Amino acid sequence: MIYFCAEKGENQWFVPDNLITTMTKVWLLVLVVFCHGIFSNGVTNISTRPDVVNVGVILTYKSIIGKVAKVAIEAAVEDVNSDSTVLAGTKIKLTMQDSNYSRFMGIVGALKFMEKDTVAIIGPQQSVTAHVISHIANELQVPLLSYSATDPTLSSLQFPFFVRTAQSDLYQMAAIADIVNYYGWRDVIAIYVDDDHGRNGIAALGDKLAEKRCKISYKAPMPPEATRDDITNLLVKVALMESRIVVLHTYDVPGPVVLNVAQYLGMMGTGYVWIATNWLSTILDTNSPLDSNAMDDFQGVITLRMYAPDSELKRKFVSRWSNLAGGKSANGSFGLSTYGLYAYDTVWLLAHAIDAFFNQGGNISFSNDSRLSELHGGSLNFDAMSIFDGGNLLLNSILQVNMTGITGPIKFTPDRDFIYPAFEVINVIGTGFRRIGYWSNYSGLSVLPPEMLYTKPPNRSSANQRLHSVIWPGQTTHRPRGWVFPNNGRQLKIGVPNRVSYREFVSQVEGTEMFKGYCIDVFTAALNLLPYVVPCKLIPFGDGSNNPSSTEFVHLITTGISTIDKKIVYDAAVGDITIITNRTRIVDFTQPYVESGLVVVAKVRRLNSNVTAIFFLIVGAVVWILEHRINDEFRGPPKKQVVTILWFSLSTLFFAHKENTISTLGRVVLIIWLFLQQLSSSIKGIETLISSKDPIGYRQGSYARNYLVEELGIHESRLVPLNKPEDYAKALKDGPQRGGVAALVDERAYADLFLSTRCEFSIVGPEFTKAGWGFAFPRDSPLAIDMSTAILKLSENGDLQRIHDKWLMSSACTSQSTTFEVDQLQLKSFWGLFAICGFACLLALLVYLIMIVRQFSRHYSDDVESSGSSSGSKCIQTFLTFVDEKEVDVKNRSKRRQMEKASNRSVGEDESTNGSKKRFSESCSSKNLDKGEEA
């Protein structure tokens, strides 16, 4: 306990000195504890913040990006320094270095900043310079923030102190790839400046196109300081290429020159598509309005612009821009590009990061780099550069910023890219341009602003991709095809198989370089339907002694390596080439023009006997008798019924009878007869061949061999290659016992042609694979798509069938033989079946007769009894009339008679009942009368 003693004077208290000393110590202790509490809560004393923070800026003052960025950065620094809530009294001291279009001067400027205790550098303007300066920033731990170095290879892994504060070219190239895919193009030509910015951007474009199964077919690099002659020579080469889709990735200085030269060379006309990266939109935004000559060079071009959503902050800054630009430029006002917006937000981002840096206890201090100290001496003064001790903390503060600027939400992803990357898609028209849509990494192409889609689930489906209409070069709204045949005088080399068999499909005219056949006529007809001329030359493939392998044939389209002549490379393959899975992996096929699956062909011996013809008529007559009373198809005038009997008898030979059998007996007879038509053999189809051990023939060069071995597991020792139809026939006739084959496996098209003149053979069972023939082209060839469309037109207008009939018209025995199974035997082998069929017919007629007699006796019993005294011929005539009547009519008439009889019986009973009642009444009356008289 502490006691306070005081002595009272006049109107005052006297306090001893020792008490004052004690109280002072107590208050000092309380103050220390209070301050410690404040520090422990993370609040730094404002007196520890410096008055100014040095920030460097590297840009080219006179460039189209630099002059806008300079004004925007200065305006942002002024706004930050005038807002005391941002840095709590600390000011940003800005130092600018003009690189004057020189990458070397940009590097020198960065080195000068490192001598002045700079905590961060805004810039450089170009990616090439950023690659070098980023190494310096890494060494001295000074964050490097660039709003215009968009090279996607400036990654955080290699350059941890490089921070991109704009959209990466990776996303711009993804947008271009989506545009190319949206319009259905597959090949593009890339023109670019041959430096880090150009090469790495085009590499990213190639990756993004590959994801869409598109590609860069030709790369056209130009020197960074390209002259007009350099550009002219470059575009002359581009004009000789096949693709007409040109992506121009360059800078604002050479870009307009490229388009001007293209206009001079006629490359801005109909058929061409030019897609420029955002250098063109920067020119349009900054220098608008452009003179008419410059705009003429840009007509129809599609370009991209980094997207900044509309907001109140953006509108306010845009409204200030005229005053800002007019007051800072000696050449008058200029427009505001998106680079100016991102440069403005870069300063604010850095200011928020510096504030967070100080709030976390960061201090502005530097230390010597021991490695640089070893280089002391000389005029370069390397030892004056020092390491920023708080560099890592400031870098982390930058990456943690979460704010809203005039470009929209500003926040970094784990890959150090801005969230929600998006671009506007612009079409240059007339004296200005029109926005035709947007691209965002969230949902692809859309006509709606990206911020409207962020609230919905992402949808990148092709049906959801949309852009407004475009006016293309040449003032056309029709979508360009995107490619032409190279204007270099070279004809397409079309490979054609040099077949030794089945030359109806394709063959070379002897003594000439011409080809003929079904496949050639289809190819020629399809070419004639194309809206352009295809210069081509047909070149044979094969040695002429054996049928060439179609698989090796299609390999030559991509590899160009032939095991036969070692030198021929084909641009396409035309012929009887089957579309199978393995081949589709290396080439693109057209729409199939022939359906041709694998079938089994075997030997057939058809019945040829008069007994067979007689049985045809007998069966037809029996079925007519059994169906006549109940089936309308077997009724009618006598002449029609005779024709029906004959037609039905003959049509069963081909299983083509159209009359339906209704009665049970008729169906039994028909089933037995059709069973007799079936052929008896041990071979029923491919399943039988798989389970047997007999040799199997196949056409040499066909994919059937690989299918039988790899897919069905048949040992290759059982397979016998055959070249010509004559070889097929001999092997099938000889059979396994005499060195032949049990059956032949081949494609349906070949089998039909083989059987058209050889009726002793036939197809066994159904097709066990489904395939077709097509023309082969290199992968992603646009000609394959156009040829497919032409083949569909041939099919729709009937020309494809007419060409088929011209070359592959079947003979009469083809349709017959292909309906049979295998190995019909001689008549003597079927006497038992014929006996069964005959017995079935007699039994069916007997049962039918019994049924008819029962029905006749039941329905005509009264007529027979009433005409019992009549002659027997009358009864027979009545029976025959009954047999000829339709059963339904007989039953209906019988029912009516029964109803009439029942009605008559009911009337008779009523009359009898009434008579009885009358007699009973009379009897009762007479009895009563007698009783009265007695009384």
Q: What is the pLDDT of residues 780-804, one digit of tens each?
A: 788 898 999 999 999 999 999 999 9
What is the pLDDT confidence band of residue 103, given thresholds at 50, 70 and 90? Answer: confident
What is the pLDDT confidence band of residue 27, given thresholds at 50, 70 and 90? Answer: very low
pLDDT, tens digit, 9 for 90 and up, residues 156-177: 889 999 999 999 999 999 999 9
pTM over 0.75: no
Calpha distance 761→776 (Å, rounded): 33
pLDDT at 815: 44
Judge whether residue 886 has pLDDT over 60.
Answer: yes
pLDDT at 43: 38
pLDDT at 351: 95
Pairing of strands 719-722, 408-410: unpaired
Listed range (18-32, 388-402, 722-736, 903-917) with the worst mean pLDDT: 18-32
pLDDT at 35: 36
Q: Which residue has the higher pLDDT, 308 or 850?
A: 308
Question: What distance separates the 2 farthest-apart alpha carbons in the chain?
Answer: 181
Two tokens at 513?
């370089």
Mean pLDDT of 278-296: 92
Q: Which residue has the tokens 């200030």?
A: 320
What is the pLDDT confidence band of residue 814, given thresholds at 50, 70 and 90? Answer: very low
What is the pLDDT confidence band of residue 631, given thresholds at 50, 70 and 90? Answer: low
pLDDT at 21: 42
What is the pLDDT confidence band of residue 679, given thresholds at 50, 70 and 90? Answer: very low
pLDDT at 8: 37
Output the average pLDDT for the chain: 81
Tell me the one-letter amino acid at 397: S
Contact yes or no for 825/646 (Cβ under 8 A)? no
Backbone dihedral region for residue 815 (phi beyond 0: left; psi -120 to 50: alpha; all else: beta): alpha
Calpha distance 704→600 (Å, rounded): 11
Judge whether residue 778 has pLDDT over 50.
Answer: yes
Listed range (43-47, 425-429, 920-924) with the worst mean pLDDT: 43-47
Two tokens at 620?
């037809």
pLDDT at 491: 84
Most confident of 327-336, 598-607, 885-894: 598-607
- Identify the CA nearest to 702 among candidates 889, 551, 494: 551
Q: Which residue has the higher pLDDT, 798 or 766?
A: 798
Mean pLDDT of 768-785: 90
Tell me the one-letter amino acid at 217: S
Calpha distance 728→757 (Å, rounded): 13
Judge whether residue 766 has pLDDT over 70.
Answer: yes
Listed range (19-28, 312-321, 625-634, 820-829) with the worst mean pLDDT: 19-28
Tell me the one-letter amino acid at 568: I
pLDDT at 261: 96
Backbone dihedral region for residue 566 (phi beyond 0: left; psi -120 to 50: alpha; all else: beta): left
Two tokens at 934?
């007695």
pLDDT at 708: 93
DSSP letter assigned to residue 634: G
Listed range (113-127, 165-179, 580-594, 851-865) with the worst mean pLDDT: 851-865
pLDDT at 39: 37
Mean pLDDT of 898-907: 68
Judge whether residue 668 has pLDDT over 80.
Answer: no
Query: 753 - beta bridge partners?
Result: none
Mean pLDDT of 478-493: 82
Calpha distance 695→689 (Å, rounded): 9
Judge whether residue 5 has pLDDT over 50.
Answer: no
pLDDT at 12: 38
Judge whether residue 829 has pLDDT over 60.
Answer: no
DSSP letter assigned to residue 377: S
pLDDT at 713: 92
Please tell me the total number of residues recorded for the chain in this structure.
Answer: 935
What 3-state class would DSSP assign to 584? helix
Q: Buried b vs exposed e over 722-737: b needs ≥16 C-beta within 10 Å? A: bbebebbbebbeebee
Two tokens at 99?
């690189």
Contact residues for 173 (Cβ-Cβ < 8 A; gap 6+): 152, 201, 204, 205, 207, 208
Judge whether residue 50 has pLDDT over 60.
Answer: yes
Mean pLDDT of 869-898: 66
- Strands in 588-589's sheet, in edge-to-edge order, are 536-541, 492-497, 572-573, 776-777, 588-589
Listed range (38-42, 277-281, 341-345, 716-720) with the worst mean pLDDT: 38-42
Judge whether residue 323 has pLDDT over 70.
Answer: yes
Contact residues for 713 (Cβ-Cβ < 8 A; gap 6+): 690
Judge whether residue 47 has pLDDT over 50.
Answer: no
pLDDT at 919: 55
pLDDT, tens digit, 9 for 90 and up, residues 582-623: 899 889 999 999 988 899 998 875 554 555 666 667 777 777
What 3-state class would DSSP assign to 455? coil
Query: 222 - beta bridge partners?
Result: 193
Judge whether residue 706 has pLDDT over 80.
Answer: yes
Two tokens at 563?
């095991």
Calpha distance 932→637 (Å, rounded): 81
Calpha distance 778→791 (Å, rounded): 18
Two tokens at 795?
């099919």
pLDDT, tens digit, 9 for 90 and up, residues 725-759: 999 999 999 999 889 999 999 999 999 888 888 88
pLDDT at 13: 38
pLDDT at 832: 62
pLDDT at 92: 94
Two tokens at 868?
């019992």
Mean pLDDT of 905-927: 55
Calpha distance 57→97 (Å, rounded): 6
Calpha distance 687→672 (Å, rounded): 26
pLDDT at 544: 79
